[in-house]
Amino acid sequence: MSVRMIGTGSAVPKLRVTNEDLSRIIDTSDEWIYSRTGIRARHIAVEETTAQLAADAAEAALSMAQLAAEDIDLMIGATATPDRLLPGLACEVQRILGATRAVAFDINAACSGFLFGLNIADAYLRSGVYQNALVIGAETLSRLTDWTDRGTCVLFGDGAGAAVVAVDGAEETRGILGMVQGSDGGRGMVLSCANRPLNNPYVNHGNEIPYVHMNGQEVYKFAVKTVPAAIMQAVEKARLSVDEIDLFLLHQANYRIIEAVAKRLGQPMEKFPTNMQEHGNISAASVPILLDEVKRSGRIKDGDKIVLAGFGAGLTWGAAVLEW
Ligand code: COA
């Protein structure tokens, strides 16, 4: 028995904002942003909601998997930017899709959210509790961004990615072969966003709207050290060597981080497809959108061995090895 990924999907908002566009509203330039991050553009939600983007991505994944919404019995929504605090994202997507048989809930592991969701789904499916799961990473980070802070607002974008994972009774050696996840709350404040202030009859903390706050250099150091180590552990768990991996699909925070990870793993950049040029960093949606784009481009063949890896706020990190 194995757990296989049988469908992927993604959706991004219509509005495409280039670095040039941003340079008209804040003191920045395409040269600065592109040379430090690899980002050229991002998509920003105007009419789109996190839930609708997630539902569009989920529908595309279901269609590839040739499953109906009613076939899904587990739906996990990974997000830090749901449209509402209650009900959660996954329940909203359940309503939109009519996935009436599913149990739906959210997790927040920031940019590692999709990997953590995949790990949860894998555990449920392997233990026989459920058969077909939908794992969604969806964000409208534009709502958490301080658009006057050029150090952060140029980095993020909006969008959603989804994957259907299912129990495969016949195959022993394919599907999800190894996963690791980790967290270090002790260093959490290097990338943070406060909730709305506490106001009640006993306390008044004001009405200031909180935004994402980041120590970019600390996050950079964390990523280039932790991600290669997590990938090595996941590859070992899968009883493979990194040379046997065909593609590494990493969280799309920054091209330089990906180059540094590739170098540490001794692997060529051709094995590391990127899309931050077009989407920026979409947190939990980043890995599943990249996976879907690479899958639909025809670059993933049956039997290919693929690493997925996410890292971000928490701090959190996760890596998975799949044989397609
Ligand atoms: N446009 C132009 N100048 C900018 C700018 C922008 N968008 N953002 C910052 N600057 C300026 C700063 O004000 C600073 O100017 P100063 O030297 O006059 O004070 C200078 O550029 C350097 O800023 P700094 O923050 O030290 O830049 P950096 O080299 O560390 O690069 C990041 C910033 C964010 C690109 C880099 O730290 C990084 O990629 N970190 C990882 C972040 C990440 O991946 N986060 C998500 C993880 S999930």
CATH number of the domain to which 186 belongs: 3.40.47.10
With cut-offs at 50, 70 and 90, classify the pLDDT of residue 174: confident
Asked if residue 161 and residue 199 are part of one domain, the reply reads no
- pLDDT for 169 equals 78
CA of 154 to the centre of ligand 1 (A): 10
Respond yes or no: is residue 213 known to be catalytic.
no
Confidence at 171, pLDDT banded by 50, 70, 90: low
Q: Which of 136, 168, 200 is the last residue of a domain?
A: 168
d(CA 322, CA 307): 6
Q: Are residues 58 and 133 in the same domain?
A: yes
Q: Is the CB of 215 within 6 Å of ligand 1?
A: no
Q: Are residues 215 and 142 in the same domain?
A: no
Residue closest via CA to ligand 1's atom 26 equals 217
Domain identity same for 255 and 313: yes
Residue 168: band (very low, low, confident or very high) from pLDDT cuts 50, 70, 90: confident
Indicate the residue among 168, 187, 222 that finishes a domain: 168
Distance 195 CA to ligand 1 centre (A): 24
Residues 39 and 150 in one domain: yes
pLDDT for the residue 269? 98
Q: Is 14 left (phi over 0), alpha (psi -120 to 50) or beta?
A: alpha
Does 285 score more than 90 pLDDT? yes
For residues 154 and 271, state if they share a domain. Answer: no
Q: Nearest C-alpha to atom 44 of ligand 1 is from which residue?
A: 253
Cβ atoms of residues 96 and 55 within 8 Å: yes
pLDDT digits (tens, 9 = 90+) for 128-137: 999 999 999 9
104-142 residue pLDDT tens: 999 999 999 999 999 999 999 999 999 999 999 999 999
| Same domain membership, residue 249 and residue 107 | no
Environment class of 10 (CB within 10 Å of its CB; exposed 0-12, middle 13-18, buried 19+): buried
Domain termination residue (choose one: 119, 150, 168) = 168
* Residue 254 designated active-site: no
Are both 154 and 180 inside the same structural domain?
Answer: no
Name 107's bridge partners. 78
- 161 and 189 co-located in one domain: no
Q: Which pLDDT tens digit goes with each residue over 194-253?
A: 999 999 999 999 988 899 999 999 999 999 999 999 999 999 999 999 999 999 999 999
Q: What is the DSSP string of 113-163?
A: HHHHHHHHHHHHHHTTS-SEEEEEEEEEGGGT--TT-HHHHTTB-EEEEEE
Atom number, ligand 1, closest to the C-alpha of residue 111: 48
Same domain, 154 and 267: no
Cα separation, 215 vs 236, whole angstroms? 32
Q: Over 70: is that where the pLDDT of 172 sits?
A: no
* Number of domains present in the structure of the chain: 2
Q: Are residues 198 and 136 in the same domain?
A: no
Q: Catalytic: 281? A: yes
Q: What residue owns the CA closest to ligand 1's atom 7?
A: 150
Task: Please check whether residues 39 and 153 belong to one and the same domain.
Answer: yes
d(CA 246, CA 251): 17
Domain boundaries, position 136: 2-168
> Which pair of structure tokens corresponds to residue 68?
């109906």
